[in-house]
């Protein structure tokens, strides 16, 4: 199952396309795209919660030099921009934005996943999710648009919500949080969504982009989400991880997940890939998933 990438609501078109983006947290505003270098640098330092002295010490430069850079009284070299970006731990996409704001060409490429240059990456993704069989595994981009899925994931989705159209474009964040996709079958939806929303908030804080802020805002607008975030956890998990507890009819499935990224990425697309693997939390769940895989295809 390999799907094209486009942000699409799993149950219909986004209601918020074209709407103005409003930062979900007033203390974590979207980083302005068209700001000059001095403003961007200061904004990122403040987002990290560092004083000028802290930042200068981490970057190995004088506080005076940093102050001049933030005031626009000094122009950075290309190497200085890269040093500051690395110190701030900016994603590659945001490093490019900082370079462009300083008057330099972007360093990091953003290659289409289908391009020949990423053939080995595609093969690695396919290998990883195939090894997860008969348990589900998916590959997504930074905004949870589904890129690839193994047959274990297809079987799970088809059991819960029915067959998908061959050209279906799926956003897993919407599928999880929306009221009419996975929610009816997710017994502990509140606890899972509470944790997931916090992870998207962390993404928004890390990349400062309008796109991630828009994703977060959209998720927060779904029915019941605000109440879930304000409420206390229903039950503290007894195990080491919080499972996703699905139930449909007489079938109950308890799964936990791992999320992996590719090491030492040198391309924006590659850095933003995530591989999520699902594992059974108990023997009964493992037996069901293995039984589905053993059934002959019609």
CATH class of 116-294: alpha beta
Residue 20 has pLDDT above 80, yes or no: no
Torsion region of 214: left, alpha or beta (phi above 0 gives left; psi -120 to 50 gives alpha): alpha
The arithmetic mean of pLDDT across residues 84-98, rounded, is 97
The Cα 114–Cα 5 span in angstroms is 11
Residue 166 has pLDDT above 90, yes or no: no
Residue 278 has pLDDT above 80, yes or no: yes
CATH superfamily, domain 37-101, is: lambda repressor-like DNA-binding domains (1.10.260.40)
- Poorest-confidence range of 92-106, 138-152, 164-178, 277-291? 164-178
Query: Model's pTM, two decimal places?
Result: 0.84
Domain boundaries, the chain: 37-101, 116-294
**Residue whose token pair is 């690695």:** 124
The arithmetic mean of pLDDT across residues 265-279, rounded, is 97
Residue 7 has pLDDT above 80, yes or no: no
**56-85 core/surface letters (b: 16 or more CB in 10 A; e: else):** bebbebeeeebeebbeeeeebeeebbbebb
Q: What is the pLDDT of residue 233?
A: 65
What stretches of 141-224 show up as alpha helix (H) in DSSP?
151-161, 172-177, 189-207, 210-220
The Cα 211–Cα 204 span in angstroms is 9
- Structure tokens belonging to residue 217: 């805002």
Q: What is the pLDDT of residue 218?
A: 96
């Amino acid at each position: 199952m390999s799907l094209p990438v486009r942000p699409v609501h799993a149950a219909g078109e986004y209601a918020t396309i074209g709407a103005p983006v409003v930062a979900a947290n007033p203390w974590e505003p979207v980083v302005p795209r068209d700001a000059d270098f001095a403003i961007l640098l200061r904004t990122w330092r403040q987002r990290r919660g560092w004083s000028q002295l802290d930042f200068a010490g981490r970057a190995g430069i004088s506080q005076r030099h940093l102050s001049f850079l933030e005031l626009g009284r000094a122009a950075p070299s290309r190497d200085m921009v890269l040093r500051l970006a690395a110190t701030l731990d900016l994603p590659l996409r945001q490093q490019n934005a900082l370079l462009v704001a300083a008057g330099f060409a972007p360093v990091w490429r953003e290659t289409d996943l289908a391009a020949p240059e990423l053939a080995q990456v595609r093969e690695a993704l396919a290998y990883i999710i195939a090894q997860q069989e008969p348990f589900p595994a998916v590959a997504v981009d930074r905004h949870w648009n589904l890129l690839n899925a193994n047959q274990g994931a297809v079987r799970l989705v088809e059991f819960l919500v029915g067959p998908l159209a061959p050209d279906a474009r799926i956003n897993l964040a919407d599928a999880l949080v929306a009221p009419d996709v996975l929610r009816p079958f997710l017994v502990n939806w509140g606890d899972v969504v509470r944790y997931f929303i916090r992870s998207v908030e962390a993404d928004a804080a890390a990349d400062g982009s309008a796109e991630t802020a828009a994703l977060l805002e959209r998720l927060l607008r779904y029915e019941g989400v605000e109440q879930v975030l304000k409420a206390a956890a229903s039950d503290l998990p007894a195990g080491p991880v919080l499972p996703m507890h699905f139930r449909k009819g007489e079938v109950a499935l308890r799964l936990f997940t791992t999320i992996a990224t590719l090491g030492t990425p040198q391309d924006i697309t590659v850095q933003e890939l995530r591989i999520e693997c699902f594992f059974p939390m108990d023997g009964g769940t493992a037996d069901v998933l293995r039984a589905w895989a053993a059934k002959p295809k019609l």
